[in-house]
Amino acid sequence: MKAVSCSGCAERQAAPRPLDTIASGVLVAAGLVAGRWLGTPLLARLLLGAAMLAGGARVLPRGLAALRRLDADIHGLVTLAAAGAVAIGQWEEGALVVFLFSLGQALEEASLVRTRRALASLIDMAPRRPLAWRDGAFRPVEVDAVRPGDRLLVRPGERVPVDGQVVAGSSWLDESCLTGEPFPRAASPGEAVRAGALNRQGVLEVVATSGFRETTFARIIYLVEQAQAQKAPSQRIVDRFAARYTPLVVALAVATATLPPLVRGEPMVPWLYRALAFLLLACPCALVIATPVAVVSAIAQAARSGILIKGGRALETLGRVRAVAIDKTGTLTEGRPRVSGVYPAAGWSGRALLALAAAVEAGSEHPLGAAMRRAADEEAVDVPQATGFEALPGRGARAVVQGAICHVMRPDLLDAGALEPELQAAVARSPTAVVVTRGREVAGVIAFHDAVRHEAAQVVTALRGMGVHTVVVLSGDSPQAAAEAARAVGADAGEGSLGPEDKALRVRGLSVRSGTVAMVGDGINDAPALAAADVGIAMGAGATDVALETADVALLGTGLGGVVSAIALGRRASRVVVQNVVLAVGTKLVLLALAVPGWLTLWLAVLGDSGVALGVILNSLRLLGRRQPTVRQEPGLRPGNPAGETCRETVAEAPRWTG
């Protein structure tokens, strides 16, 4: 005989309908009244037989088919138990077995509806027939027919059908189903928009940049669907256990039914009854579903919060994380340089230096140039007109300002001794700095820093509170910048000047020293490290495409708080799986103890099996009903600003300002 499978516990296609179960219960009650109180055994058997047919209308055929294949799944065991009960004259027991099994499956089906709704709600959000420009007018088309370059109209209350760019109109977009962030964001011409975002206010005209199947939203649905088909490591262990365990159970049941009558000459009927009860109870239904229901519930809940988890293996690994490596630029930091210091040379003022630098960089697209222009604008500095702008890749930029050739350049391009000692010290202290010159005269030095995200320190604190004992910062920036970022957030160490392969080596070394490692990066230059980690977490909507290919987890929000939520969810899911296994095994052991003296009845065996399975499902569904802990992410607030004043990104915050 093949191993007892519990496919019936995991596949609900043949689950009883509520009316089948109700009819079976009514007929069982009528049969008990007819047999015990009215004294009409023939009528009682007819009613009890009808109860078995009603409750087993969708179960018994599968059971008979399984028995013919010698594949004794739970449907086959129930069918065998009901037939055995009738054979030994226990019609009431047989009817109760079928009714209770039918009731248990109906309740399980009702409970699992919540898990299915989590996915269905995502699928229902997908626009079916958006308005696309066709033949001189906006007309409804199938979403799969939308191609890059198509013009689309998104009205208030509708969802953006595909990823695109706004070309006309303005509105507020609710992206909570994508990122988990509750506040709408403004959308105006030039802004990128993503499929699934809900248009709250105005009419938008959008040019598609992708088809629906290439959108982030379609990938969310795909990943949640895939998660239901993938098996977590613990689930595979349980399946292997069941494959060895169930043949042993069948052999013990056969021995229970045959050995006492053959060896000691005892009556066959009582031992056959015990064997049937033992076989029903020993089926590991609850154990087999202990992991998959919890995994699907957790992954569906994560998707609601803008966290994409690629299957049960990634979820379980999140629950074991003991060390976290975080990329600096664009992940731990905002990825946007700011002016942190203005150091004028003798004879120059700070405002004059900043005005000259902003003039040279007026035509530049470099991030440092943008930072200098922002600083000048915020300080209301009058910027003179420049001509003849020329970018010098890898060196800086130059332009003609008020008749003189001016440069913004790297400090190491100047001759030794060209800078005053104070300016040399400023360059040495700064992770990034530029020198501004007018003709042959040095006007001064401007320093920059990449600001740490305002929630980063809270995230590190939260990780430590969850049992993560090592947090390190990895960066391709200078060692000084990496160390400063690590100190700012409370990490254990910061390493700089690392290439992609260097980061991967550091992650592997951290895994050897500290245990399970999560790598948090932007999913582009961090791809080797994300792949080398036990679980890779790609952060940020801008890196979504690479994240879904490389990392195990993708955070669609823009903040680091999703890292805390993902790891917390993994830990909670792991606890729920352990609880499920303990509940399944512990309850079965208690009931099996009742079988030794013969106290276990058929109906109690079925009640125990179905009840434990239902308990496992309900326990798993708790993962759907509770949001994970998050870190507050308030724009304009940074650590060390408890009063909540808005932080201005101005040169006034620089460590030195003269003039």
Active site residue ranges? 327
Q: Both tokens of residue 543? A: 């890196």
How far lies 423's CA from each of 204, 338, 446, 509, in Å? 51, 19, 10, 39
- Of residues 106, 108, 77, 83, the one with CA closest to residue 95: 83
**In b/e form, how buried is each residue of 542-564, taking b as 16+ CB within 10 angstroms?**
ebbbbbbebbbbbbbbbbbbbbb
If you compute the radius of gyration of the chain from its CA atoms, what whole number of angstroms results?
34
Question: Strands, E, within 256-382: which ranges?
Answer: 307-309, 323-327, 333-344
3-state secondary structure of 485: helix
Main-chain dihedrals φ then ψ at residue 149, nearest 5 degrees: 100, -15
Q: Tokens 């700011």 label which residue?
A: 338
Q: Are 26 and 50 in contact (CB under 8 A)?
A: no
In what side-by-side order are the strands of the sheet with 493-495?
307-309, 553-555, 535-539, 517-521, 323-327, 470-474, 493-495
User: What 8-state DSSP symbol labels residue 329?
Assistant: I
Report the run of H or E that residue 405 belongs to, with start and end.
strand 404-409
What is the C-alpha to C-alpha distance for residues 209 and 199, in angstroms, rounded to an integer? 18
What is the C-alpha to C-alpha distance for residues 491 and 506, in angstroms, rounded to an integer? 15
What is the C-alpha to C-alpha distance for residues 391 and 397, in angstroms, rounded to an integer? 4
What is the C-alpha to C-alpha distance for residues 558 and 115, in angstroms, rounded to an integer? 27
- Of residues 505, 534, 509, the one with CA closest to residue 519: 534
What is the C-alpha to C-alpha distance for residues 594 and 589, in angstroms, rounded to an integer? 9
